[in-house]
Amino acid sequence: SAVAVQEGDWIAPSSANKLVSPIKDIVEASKEGKKNFQIQCAICHGEEGKGDGIAGMGLNPRPADLTSSKVQKQSDGALFWKLTNGRPPMASYSGIFAAMQRWQLIAYIRTLSNKK
């Protein structure tokens, strides 16, 4: 899978934008996503998703600020692709979270956009 990297940007392939979340109840999904975020993601991305987690400080590239417009303007499919495939230093989460759990994480990440 080819990944375009430009000046540190991580861009999912355009085909990823066709992936559509099967989630119907966004509120419930985001609650479940938050639980998994706190367990697995906050250590690097920070408790509020701002990319300031303790384990992320020494990483290159640094963890993304999930509250940023740069992340929030990406399609759900692009975020799903990134969670599924990973890119060093971020792991692939396809073996850690089932597909539905990854969609729930995205539902939660969407709630972070207004936490500036």
**Is residue 4 scored above 80 in pLDDT?**
no
Identify the pLDDT of residue 5.
Answer: 39
Rg (C-alpha) for the chain, rounded Å, is 13
pLDDT tens for 30-89 read 999 999 999 999 999 999 999 999 999 999 999 999 999 999 999 999 999 999 999 999
Specify the pTM. Answer: 0.88
- Which amino acid is it at 13? P
What one-character-per-residue DSSP string does 30-48 give? HHHHHHHIIIIIHHHH-TT
Residue with tokens 């939660």: 108
Please state, in angstroms and rounded to a whole number, the distance separating the CA atoms of residues 65 and 63.
Answer: 7
76: domain CATH number?
1.10.760.10
> Residue 69's domain spans which residues?
4-114
Residue 91 C-beta-side C-alpha neighbours within 13 Å: 8
Domain count, the chain: 1
